[in-house]
Amino acid sequence: MMPSSSGDAPMPSQGMEMSADGQSIDDCVEALEKHRIACEKEGRYEEAEIAKTRLEQLRVHDENRRKEELKSQQLAERLGIEEAHMKELQEFNEIWDGKFAEFESHAANLQNTLGTRHVEEHHAYLDKLRRDTEPRTPRWSRELLNLRKIQENQAKMKQYTDAGKTKAEADQVEQKEHALWKNRRDTKIACMEEQFIKKQKMEMEGMLKRIQSGREEQKQARKSELERLLQRYHNVKTQTESQQKLIQLRLEKYPSGPPGMVSVSSPRPASRAGKAKV
């Protein structure tokens, strides 16, 4: 290589991104460009050609470096979005699983409490029916009352044989009338008990219906919020990809990187699993 003219910078060695004194590639390019111009002016064309070749190599190398850096940066941005989205999904599921567990625990407690109250109320009501339902004692027929009167008179007259026969006849009538009274009273009590149990059943069904309605509302709220979460993720991902494509196009158009050629940080979805109405 011919000696360079006074004031010319030495030509950097091939493949160096940083010179020995810490110069950056841009500094090397600037020094090479000055050296090329000087060689061109002084007619040292062979040396100018070498400088031009090195300049092209450095620019290609710098362009590739910029592309690789941008590729790594954009990949990191996309991975960051995916990581944030997965974390948000995990938090979302943990929150809603907790809500569902709390809801089911509360629902089970309501069912148990109402069931216990129903059992207690049923026993108390049945005791009241057996105690207060009319007629509480049999209403004997005129026939039975007459037989007992005859039986009493026969016994007073010491007609014990006739009194015994009359008593046996009266006992049979009383047994039949007592059975009839008991059957009618038990039937009346059973009917009122059935109505009471039916009322309790309707109360339990109403509560179960409200619980199921609340359960469906929770499922719908979770579904709606998940759709919003996924839509936010889709929007962020789409916006990031568009920004990255724009940056790639700028880099291809301006390989050396003009002023204003900056990387755009991609927005990431914030974790915010909202509360649904329970």
pLDDT above 50: residue 14? no
pLDDT tens digits for range 220-246: 999 999 999 999 999 999 999 999 899
pLDDT tens digits for range 72-88: 999 999 999 999 999 99
* Whether 189 contacts 135, CB under 8 Å: no
Q: Is residue 112 in some structural domain? A: yes
User: Which residue range forms the structural domain that includes residue 123?
Assistant: 25-253
Q: Is residue 276 in some structural domain? A: no
Q: Is residue 191 in some structural domain? A: yes
Per-residue pLDDT at 256 = 62
Distance from C-alpha of 58 to C-alpha of 14, rounded to nearest angstrom: 8
Position of tokens 């920004």? 243
pLDDT tens digits for range 247-272: 888 888 876 655 444 444 444 554 44
pLDDT above 80: residue 148? yes
Q: What secondary structure does DSSP assign to 32-58, as a single string?
A: HHHHHHHHHHHT-HHHHHHHHHHHHHH
Number of domains forming the structure of the chain: 1
Q: Is residue 10 in some structural domain? A: no
CA distances from 7 to 35, 38, 39, 44, 180 (A): 9, 9, 12, 15, 135
pLDDT above 50: residue 1? no
Q: Is residue 258 in some structural domain? A: no
Indicate the pTM of the whole model: 0.62
Q: Is residue 262 in some structural domain? A: no
Bigger pLDDT: 69 or 227? Answer: 227
pLDDT above 80: residue 10? no
Q: Is residue 215 in some structural domain? A: yes
Tokens of 34: 């000055």
Bigger pLDDT: 226 or 3? Answer: 226
Position of tokens 């499922």? 219
Q: Is residue 103 in some structural domain? A: yes
Per-residue pLDDT at 9 = 42
